[in-house]
């Protein structure tokens, strides 16, 4: 084992701890060097993982890669990647990502296995996603319109189309047509050309079939044979379908429960769980956000942090670090460690605020509320801390950070009850302090 796997064990999971966009892809990319297999567990092309890596042509320059489906570990040519059964897969997007990597000199051949139990996102799912979002009027949930919700809806009502259906062309087409005709009766405005899509799938299937595998068996066997596995979560804890700010959530479980179910790996084999948490708080789309800064400071943080959705390009809403959210996330998931990202973005602010409590109608809340009405109307209690002016983007060791920055990190550890193991101080691979 490597030093990393000695510390975190042979089966490690990385999860988003706020409303997504915490910077999961970067840590996955860093740790992937030390693991044999990187597995994606949940979500679909609504996820976006941004990675900056040195250019092969000029190592002094970096290239930006955004993945929606392919696990971030694919950047490491000697690693195997898995798309687990909990993922819903839009095959054209997946193939486009594979093509981009190949065009940039990164071989993907024989390195990607897709669960034969994973469900397929059809293009009519995307159209339905848009139709339903528009029908909500002023109460839009902020969907990415990638068809994720409708695909999971098919899965839950037991009419979904799984990867193994691709093996039998005739049966696949019959099943697709049955589903499409059902939706045509529900959505009169559905204009999708299903025959054209089915024709395209004949070519898609040729490329996808060699990648299909019983990935649950593959991953468990790998663990038994002494290999190491890194699970890559998607979205964020507060977007979880059960524990998030419902209905302004994703359509899957973004918690450790989803990671376990979405890979088929037993919970008792998990050795460590790292929560990714931004040094401030952001969210994309609609829904409650108690510590949001609806002012110039919020805009300043957005611009300094480049806070625009990697999937949609939408500007992210920005606010102070919310310890109530963080503690709630830690409670549900039981993180062994945290990765605090984007600490450098706060440089130059004279003082910082941490949201430490919620009060509603005079009552101090014990945890993050389930009610939207309460979450949207809480009174937030803040704790003020001094900021720092020093540039921290080149700092490699925790002890070399400005004292105020170290105190900020320590306070987050105290409030969450969880050790911060990594601190992000910039966008590049090397901009990470291993505390």
pLDDT tens digits along 112-165: 999 999 999 999 999 988 888 777 766 667 677 788 989 999 999 999 999 999
Q: What is the pLDDT of residue 16?
A: 96
| Mean of the per-residue pLDDT values of the chain | 92
Share of the chain above pLDDT 70, in %: 96
Q: What is the pTM of this model?
A: 0.92
Task: Please say whether the beta carbons of 79 and 73 come within 8 A.
Answer: yes
Delimit the domains of the chain by residue range: 119-210, 277-435
Does the domain at residues 119-210 carry the CATH identifier 1.10.300.10? yes
CA 282 to each of CA 51, 127, 273, 318, 427: distance values in angstroms, whole numbers, following the listed order: 19, 28, 22, 5, 17
Please indicate whether residue 285 or residue 135 has the higher confidence score (pLDDT). Answer: 285
**Angle at the Cα of 257 from the Cα atoms of 208 and 9, rounded to 5 degrees:** 85
Two domains, one topology: 119-210 and 277-435: no
Q: Is 21 a catalytic residue?
A: yes
Does the domain at residues 277-435 carry the CATH identifier 3.90.170.10? yes
Q: Is 49 a catalytic residue?
A: yes
Q: What is the pLDDT of residue 77?
A: 82
pLDDT tens-digit series, residues 265-276? 999 999 999 999
Residue 187: is its pLDDT beyond 60?
A: yes
Burial of residue 257, with CB atoms counted within 10 A of its CB: 0-12 exposed, 13-18 middle, 19 or more buried: middle
**Residue 273 parent element (H or E):** strand 272-278
Q: d(Cα 12, Cα 23) in Å, to the nearest integer?
A: 17
Marked catalytic residue, from 29, 49, 243, 431 = 49
Q: How many CB atoms lie within 10 A of CB 182?
A: 12
Q: d(Cα 281, Cα 76) in Å, to the nearest integer?
A: 30
């Amino acid at each position: 084992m490597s030093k990393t796997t000695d510390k975190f064990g042979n089966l490690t999971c990385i999860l988003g701890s706020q409303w997504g966009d915490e910077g999961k892809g970067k840590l996955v990319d860093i740790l992937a060097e030390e693991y044999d297999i990187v597995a994606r567990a949940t979500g679909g092309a609504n996820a976006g993982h941004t990675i900056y890596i040195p250019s092969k042509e000029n190592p002094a320059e970096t290239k930006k890669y955004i993945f929606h489906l392919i696990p971030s570990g694919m950047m490491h040519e000697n690693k195997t990647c898995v798309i687990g059964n909990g993922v819903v897969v839009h095959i054209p997007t997946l193939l486009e990502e594979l093509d981009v990597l190949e065009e940039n000199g990164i071989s993907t051949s024989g390195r990607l296995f897709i669960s034969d139990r994973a469900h397929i996102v059809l293009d009519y799912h995307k159209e339905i996603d848009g139709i339903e979002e528009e029908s909500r009027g002023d109460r839009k949930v902020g969907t990415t319109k990638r068809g994720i919700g409708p695909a999971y809806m098919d899965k839950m009502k037991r009419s979904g189309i799984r990867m193994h259906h691709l093996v039998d062309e005739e049966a696949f087409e019959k099943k697709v047509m049955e589903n499409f005709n059902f939706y045509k009766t529900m959505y009169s405005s559905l204009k999708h050309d299903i025959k054209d899509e089915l024709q395209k799938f004949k070519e898609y299937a040729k490329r996808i079939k060699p990648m299909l595998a019983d990935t649950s068996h593959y991953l468990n066997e790998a663990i038994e044979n002494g290999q190491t596995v890194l699970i890559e979560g998607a979205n964020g804890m507060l977007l979880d379908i059960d524990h998030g700010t419902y209905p302004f959530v994703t359509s899957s479980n973004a918690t450790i429960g989803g990671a376990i179910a979405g890979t088929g790996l037993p919970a008792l084999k998990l050795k460590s769980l790292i929560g990714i948490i931004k040094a401030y708080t952001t969210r994309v789309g609609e829904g409650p956000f108690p510590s949001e800064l609806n002012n110039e400071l919020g805009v300043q943080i957005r611009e300094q942090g480049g806070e625009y959705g990697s999937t949609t390009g939408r500007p992210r809403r920005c606010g102070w670090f919310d310890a109530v959210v963080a503690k709630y996330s830690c409670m549900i998931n039981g993180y062994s460690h945290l990765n605090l990202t984007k600490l450098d973005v706060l440089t130059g602010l004279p003082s910082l605020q941490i949201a430490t409590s919620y009060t509603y109608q005079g009552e101090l809340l014990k945890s993050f509320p389930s009610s939207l009405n309460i979450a949207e109307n809480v009174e937030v209690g803040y704790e003020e801390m001094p900021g720092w002016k020093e540039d921290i983007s080149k700092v490699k060791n925790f002890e070399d950070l400005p004292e105020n920055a170290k105190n900020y990190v320590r306070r987050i550890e105290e409030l969450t009850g969880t050790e911060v193991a990594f601190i992000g101080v910039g966008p590049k691979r090397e901009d990470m302090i291993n505390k």
